[in-house]
């Protein structure tokens, strides 16, 4: 390696901040790669794992597009949540596997964020059994929600819909994304191995397919314990 880099190498290092390069990347290079090597949308929610600790305190980031994103529509959605939220939270108590849950309004989307133990399908199914008719009220405000009402009669479809609207959870180790991308197109993971240099490109393309993602698995102050174990420990009943 030479001690002093040539002018060309120094110039390449500055490309990221140069206007012409940003322009070319945004309008030519990235669209070209999206056309040439599109990434499928990666599935939402935590991944299935044989490790018991991976199956406890799992995150759901359900992002639901509003039917009417105007301020009036948003206000209506807020009031529907307000009218039903007590019953929904009481229902979660009966589902028994939920650590916390809350609703957010973000731009034109209503979000339900929760941490739960165990299998995703069982969580959503038990949720519908408990408060399906109440959650239907929420679904009246959601784009595409009418096809799922009553949720009690569309359980399988509703579970799939929630899965699709649950944010993809990016792996804690960036290179694990290669394997997920391989699996999504039915290829054996990491065969052949990926070049680490292609990670930025693959990330950009993935963010085109999944514009919103959860960054990593998140922080837990008491990992590996279920909601019921915590409640049991504090003697508050489970």
Partner 1 sequence: MVNIETNIQNTKYRPEDIQGNIVRGYNFKYVRHLILEVSDVKAARRFLAASVSDDSGDVPSITRETSWKKKPESCFNIGFTYEGLKALGLSRKQLASFPKEFVEGMTKRALKIGDFGESAPETWPAPFDQPDRVHIVASVHAKNIKSIDGIQDIVARSFNVIGVRDGRALDKGKIVFGYVDGISQPKLKHVHDPSEDKDDQPINPLGVVLLGYPTRLEGVLFSLPQPEKELGFNGTFNAFRVLSQNAAEFETYLTEAAEDLLKHKDIDHLLPAKEVKLFGKGHTRKSAIREIVAAQMLGRWRNGVPYETSPDTPNPDPEVSLTNFNYGYKSRCPVGAHMRRANPRGGPIVQHVANRTRRIVRRGMVYGPDFDPSKPDNEERGLLGNFIGANLGAQFEAIMYDWLNLGLQHPDITGSNDPILGANSRETSWFDLTLKNGGKIRLRGFPRFITSRGGAYTFLPSIRAVKYLSDLSG
Q: Which residues bind partner 1 (CB under 8 A)?
A: 48-50, 52-53, 55-56, 94-97, 117-119, 121-122, 125-126, 128-130, 132-133, 152-157, 159-160, 224, 226-229, 231-232, 238
- Using CB atoms within 10 Å of the CB of residue 195, give its burial: 0 to 12 exposed, 13 to 18 middle, 19+ buried: exposed
Question: With the C-alpha atoms ordered 58, 100, 96, 164, is the resulting torsion angle positive or negative?
Answer: negative
Minimum Å gap between C-beta 128 and partner 1 is: 7
Minimum Å gap between C-beta 227 and partner 1 is: 8
Q: Which is nearer to partner 1, 32 or 100 (CB)?
A: 100
Q: Which is nearer to partner 1, 76 or 229 (CB)?
A: 229
What stretches of 1-154 show up as alpha helix (H) in DSSP? Answer: 7-13, 19-24, 30-36, 71-95, 120-139
Minimum Å gap between C-beta 47 and partner 1 is: 9
Q: What is the DSSP letter of 189?
A: T
Q: Which is nearer to partner 1, 56 or 110 (CB)?
A: 56
Give the list of residues 6+ apart from residue 124 with CB closer than 8 angstroms, or none. 158, 159, 162
Query: Which two structure tokens, joined as six digits, stand for 59?
Result: 């995150």
Minimum Å gap between C-beta 132 and partner 1 is: 7
Minimum Å gap between C-beta 154 and partner 1 is: 7
Q: Which is nearer to partner 1, 5 or 232 (CB)?
A: 232
Q: Which is nearer to partner 1, 68 or 119 (CB)?
A: 119
Neighbours of 184 (CB within 10 A): 15
Q: Which is nearer to partner 1, 55 or 76 (CB)?
A: 55
Minimum Å gap between C-beta 93 and partner 1 is: 8
In angstroms, the CA 166 to CA 121 distance is 12
In angstroms, what CA-CA distances link 149 with 26, 51, 55, 135? 41, 35, 29, 9
- The three-point CA angle 117-228-153 to 5° equals 50
């Amino acid at each position: 390696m030479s001690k002093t880099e040539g002018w060309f190498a120094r110039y390449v290092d500055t490309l990221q901040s140069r206007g012409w390069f940003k322009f070319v990347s945004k309008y030519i290079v990235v669209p070209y790669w999206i056309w040439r090597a599109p990434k499928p949308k990666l599935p939402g929610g935590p991944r299935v794992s044989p490790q018991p600790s991976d199956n406890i305190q799992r995150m759901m980031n359900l992002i639901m597009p509003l039917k009417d994103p105007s301020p009036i529509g948003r206000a209506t959605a807020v009031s529907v949540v307000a009218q039903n939220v007590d019953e929904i939270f009481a229902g979660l108590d009966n589902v028994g596997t939920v650590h916390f849950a809350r609703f957010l309004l973000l731009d034109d989307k209503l979000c339900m964020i929760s941490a739960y133990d165990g299998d995703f399908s069982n969580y959503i199914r038990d949720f519908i059994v408990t408060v399906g008719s109440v959650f239907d009220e929420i679904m009246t405000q959601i784009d595409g929600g009418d096809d799922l009402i009553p949720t009690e009669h569309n359980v399988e479809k509703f579970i799939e819909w929630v899965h699709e609207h649950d944010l993809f959870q990016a792996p804690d180790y960036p290179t694990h994304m290669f394997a997920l991308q391989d699996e999504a197109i039915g290829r054996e993971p990491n065969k052949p191995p990926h070049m680490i240099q292609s990670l930025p490109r693959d990330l950009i393309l993935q963010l085109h397919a999944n514009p919103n993602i959860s960054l990593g698995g998140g922080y837990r102050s008491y990992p590996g314990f279920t909601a019921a174990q915590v409640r049991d420990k504090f003697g508050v009943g489970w």
